[in-house]
């Protein structure tokens, strides 16, 4: 069942409350709906987390939390899902988003070499920036929707499987 699988990986209620960045939300974190794990809250949180995972900003967890709170979806899952993009996965994911952006805009891909300097960032915004931003937005929307509906389907399939197993056990007892 997805509920048991998901519970193994999401942070605990207390670790989220103790996080110095997430604790900025204060008493809003006391809403019990933010900690429930059901089909609606899990699929919404998964969609939100995947949507913000493709945003090229350093405060993705805040954005996911700020969206999860008013939508009353599972907060730990939405924050944890953002970590799909981490320092190891960012380069290929964001390069893929750049390729998607060039495809959407119909512009040719440009060769570039990453440099850790402010000058390179400003220059890149002018050259590869538009395709990168469009690609990140498109990937975020696409994968957020796929995550939402995929989790809905996965949850429904697991419930159906559990019902069938219970019915089989019940029929074997008779």
DSSP 14-80: HHHHH-TTGGGGGGGGG-GGGT--SHHHHHHHHHHHHHHHTS-STTHHHHHHHHHHHHT--HHHHHH
- What is residue 27's predicted lDDT score, i.e. its pLDDT? 64
Q: How many domains does the chain have?
A: 1
Distance CA 57, CA 60 (A): 6
pLDDT > 90: what percent of the chain? Answer: 34
Q: How confident is the model at residue 76 (pLDDT cuts 50, 70, 90)?
A: confident
Average pLDDT of 4-12? 67
- What is residue 127's predicted lDDT score, i.e. its pLDDT? 82
pLDDT single digits (tens) 137-158: 999 999 999 999 999 999 999 8
Q: How confident is the model at residue 9 (pLDDT cuts 50, 70, 90)?
A: low
User: For the chain, what is the mean pLDDT?
Assistant: 84
Average pLDDT of 24-46? 79
Token output for 41: 């809250």
pLDDT at 64 > cutoff 80: yes
* Domain extent for 80: 2-173
């Amino acid at each position: 069942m997805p509920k048991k699988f998901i519970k193994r990986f999401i942070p605990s209620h207390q670790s989220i409350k103790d996080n110095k960045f997430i604790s900025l939300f204060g008493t809003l974190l006391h809403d019990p709906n933010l900690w429930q794990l059901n089909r609606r809250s899990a699929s919404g949180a998964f969609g939100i987390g995947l949507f913000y995972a493709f945003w090229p900003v350093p405060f993705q967890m805040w954005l996911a939390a700020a969206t999860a709170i008013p939508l009353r979806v599972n907060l730990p899952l939405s924050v944890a899902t953002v970590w799909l993009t981490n320092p190891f996965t960012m380069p290929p994911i964001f390069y893929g988003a750049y390729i998607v952006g060039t495809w959407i805009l119909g512009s040719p891909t440009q060769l570039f070499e990453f440099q850790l300097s402010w000058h390179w960032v400003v220059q890149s915004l002018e050259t590869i920036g538009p395709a990168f931003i469009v690609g990140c937005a498109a990937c975020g929307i696409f994968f957020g929707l796929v995550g939402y509906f995929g989790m809905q389907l996965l949850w429904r399939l697991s419930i159906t499987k559990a019902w069938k197993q219970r019915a089989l056990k019940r029929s074997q007892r008779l």
